[in-house]
Structure 1
Amino acid sequence: MKFKGIEINAEWEKLDEATKYRLVENSSDVNVLTEIFKGLKQ
C-alpha cells in the first residue's frame, strides 16, 4: 500500500494475503489522485 501513498498500520499485518491483495487492487493510488486534485485546484 505504501507504493500507492497509503500508510499501513498493525491491522494490516493481521490480514491474510488474499485480503491484502484485494484491498490493494481496489485502492486508488493516492499519489495519482493528489496530482489530479492539484490540477483541478489551479
Structure 2
Amino acid sequence: IPATLTYINMDRSLTGSPELVPYPDWRSNTAGDCANSITTAYRIK
C-alpha cells in the first residue's frame, strides 16, 4: 500500500476487493516530502 492513511468509499458498489483511497489525497502521501505530507498515522479514531 503506497499510502500512509487510506479509507474505503462505502458509497461505491463492490464487485470484489474494495479500492483503498488515500487520505486526504495522493500528494499528501508522497514519500520524502516531510514538510507537506503524512509521515505516520497513530491511533486514528
The structure whose residues are more often helix, as a share, is 1
Indicate the structure whose relative CO is greater, using CA pairs within 8 Å and at least 6 residues apart.
Answer: 1
- What's the TM-score bracket when you normalise by the shorter of the two chains? under 0.3
Q: What is the TM-score with the length of structure 2 in the denominator?
A: 0.23
**TM-score, with normalisation over the residues of structure 1?**
0.23
Between structure 1 and structure 2, the one with the greater Rg is 1
Question: Normalized per residue, which structure has more strand?
Answer: 2
